[in-house]
Amino acid sequence: MRFDRRKDLLGLRDVSREEIEVILGTAIPMKDIIRRDMKKVPALRGKGIITVFYENSTRTRTSFELAGKYLSADTSNLAVSSSSVQKGESLKDTLKTIEMMGPDVLVMRHSCTGAPHYAARNTKMRVINAGDGINEHPTQALLDMYSIRERKGTLEGLKVAIVGDILHSRVARSNIFGLSKFGCELRVIGPSTLIPPDIEKLGVKAYANLESGLKGVDVINVLRIQKERQHGALFPSIDEYRELYMVTPEHLALAADDAVVLHPGPMNRGIEISTELAESSRCVVNEQVSNGVAVRMAILYLMLGGGRDEIAG
Amino acid sequence: MKFREKALIMDETAIRRALTRIAHEINEANKGVENVALVGIRRRGGPLAHQLASQVESIEGIKPPVGVLDITLYRDDLTALGPAPIVHRTEVDFDITDKVIVLVDDVIFTGRTARAALDALMDIGRPKRIQLAVLIDRGHRELPIKPDFVGKNVPTSRQEIVSVLVEEIDGENKVVIEELIES
C-alpha cells in the first residue's frame, strides 16, 4: 500500500514502515517552508479541511489548521461545544452535514475509541484520526518519530522508554505501533495499575521501576498524567506519582549519553517531568510542536496532493 | 511504458561546448557575474547548474553561488496526476534578493515547469532579475515563456521524449531522443 493512495489515516497499526518513511521524508522540505518568511505554497489550493474536535486540544488542532493553510488549503473548525452536537445531533447526522459542505478531509478527535473509524466508513471525506479515546493518535506518534530521527539521525534499533499512564495513552499505543516497525527496543514504565496487563504481547517490556527502566535508553517519551481519564483510584495520589515517576535530570543521567526527552504536551511540570528537565537542551518538547506542523503538512499533501482516480476506497 | 532510443542529439563534448557558450552569454548579458547566482530546477537542472557554474568560473575566475529548486509544490498539474509526487528540499542557502538569478533546466517544453519555478523562486526572495537557461528547447510552448540562453533548439513531435542524461545522476552526459514503442 502506498500512503498517498489511502483514503484515511486512522492509526499506525496498519501503516507500513515504507509509508512512514515517505511521510517523515516529506516532512523535511515541509519544515523548510515553516522556517521561511513566506510560509505558503500553492500545492493544496482549492482543497477544504475541517477539524472536528469532541475533546479539547491546543496543539493538534492548531497545527492541523496551520499545516493546511501553509499548503493553501482552506481550513475550518467545527466548534463542537457551541454546535448542534449540544442540541443532540447524532454523530452520523453531523458527519453528513459536514460532508455536504464539501471539505475533502475531516480531522477528528473523539473521546470514544473507534469514532474516526466510524466516520471513515460513513462518509466520502478522507478522515484523519487526531486521537480517539485510548486507541491511537497517529499524527502525534509520527511527529515523535520525526523528532527522534531529527536528533538521533535514525530510528533503527533505538531503545525507547515510554513513561507514565500507558493504559489510557493513545500516544503510547501509536508510538509502539510505529517504532516497532523500525526495530526499536520498546519499554513502558509506570505503576502496574496504569500498564495494560497484556502489553508485552506488543513486543514491549514493562517496568514498574523508573530507574531500572531508563537504564541505557536513547529516548525517553514522558506522557502526561491525564487527570480527565483517571476515574478509578489507579494510583494513590499525585504526590506519590511524583515521588516515584517524575523524570528529572538525575534520571536522564541513567540513560544513554546523548538521550533525548520527548513529551506530547501539555506538560504537568513537577508531576511527570521536572521543570529543570523540561527546560534542558535534551528535551525536544518545543521542537516537537514545530515538527507537528511539518508532519501534518506532509500527511495532508500526500493525501490530497495527487489526483483522486487511483485512490482506493 | 517502454521507450526506444531514436537519435543521439548531443554527446559529452557537444554539451560541454554548449555550456561554455551559455557561460559566455551569461557573462556578457550581465556585464560580468559579480551579482549572478545560478539556481537549477530539480532534478537535472541541479547538476547542470553546477557544471555551468564551473564553466563561468573558468572564464571569469568567479564561481557564482549555486542553488537547487524543488518545484513540486508549485506544479499546476498536481491534482491531474496520479498519486502525489515526492517532494524534495529546495536548497538555496544564499539570499536571492537583488541578485540576478539564472534558472537552469535541462529541457524546456510546455513552459509550465519554468512558470512553477518563477513562483517558487519569488516565494524565497525578490531577485533583481530572473533569466532562464536551458540545455534543450524542444518547442511546443503552452505559456508565454522564452528562455534567455539555449544550448540547442531541437524540433520534436509531442510523442517523442527528449532525455538529458547527466554524469551526477545517470553516470554520463548526453542528450537523446526517445520514442514510445509500447504503453
Residues A8-33, mean pLDDT to the nearest whole number: 97
Give the gap in angstroms from C-alpha A183 to the nearest C-alpha of chain B. 25
**Average predicted confidence (pLDDT) for chain B:** 95
User: In the block, which residue shows the cell 462518509?
Assistant: A123
Q: Is A150 on the interface with B (CB under 8 A)?
A: no
CA A187 distance to own-chain centroid: 18
Residues A201-206, mean pLDDT to the nearest whole number: 95
Q: Can you give the pLDDT at residue B182?
A: 76
**Average predicted confidence (pLDDT) for chain A:** 93
Which of B153, B157, B122 minimizes the C-alpha distance to B136?
B153
The percentage of chain A sitting over the pLDDT mark of 70, rounded to a whole number, equals 96
pLDDT in tens, A209-220: 999 999 999 999
Residue A129 DSSP class: E
Q: What global pTM score does this model have?
A: 0.94
pLDDT in tens, B101-151: 999 999 999 999 999 999 999 999 999 999 999 999 999 999 999 999 999
pLDDT value at A232 more than 70:
no
Q: Could you list the residue range(s) of the whole structural domain that residue B67 is in?
A: 2-79+87-182
Q: Is B90 on the interface with A (CB under 8 A)?
A: yes
Which residue in A30, A38, A305 is closest to B84 by CB distance?
A305
Q: Is B1 on the interface with A (CB under 8 A)?
A: no
Residues A87-102, mean pLDDT to the nearest whole number: 93
Angle at B60 between CA B55 and CA B63, to 5 degrees: 60
Which of A54, A77, A2 minimizes the C-alpha distance to A302?
A2
Residue with the bigger pLDDT between B47 and A308: it is B47
The percentage of chain B sitting over the pLDDT mark of 70, rounded to a whole number, equals 99
pLDDT in tens, A170-202: 999 999 999 999 999 999 999 999 999 999 999
pLDDT value at A16 more than 80:
yes
Contact A2 B83 (CB under 8 A): yes
One DSSP character per residue, B33-47 reads STTEEEEEETTTHHH
Structural domains counted in chain B: 1
pLDDT value at A256 more than 50:
yes
pLDDT in tens, A122-180: 999 999 999 999 999 999 999 999 999 999 999 999 999 999 999 999 999 999 999 99
Give the gap in angstroms from C-alpha A305 to the nearest C-alpha of chain B. 5
Q: Can you give the pLDDT at residue A310?
A: 47
Domains of chain A are 3-137+290-304 (3.40.50.1370), 138-284 (3.40.50.1370)
Residues B41-64, mean pLDDT to the nearest whole number: 97
CA distance B114 to B8: 25
The percentage of chain B sitting over the pLDDT mark of 90, rounded to a whole number, equals 89
CATH number at residue B169: 3.40.50.2020
pLDDT value at A81 more than 90:
no
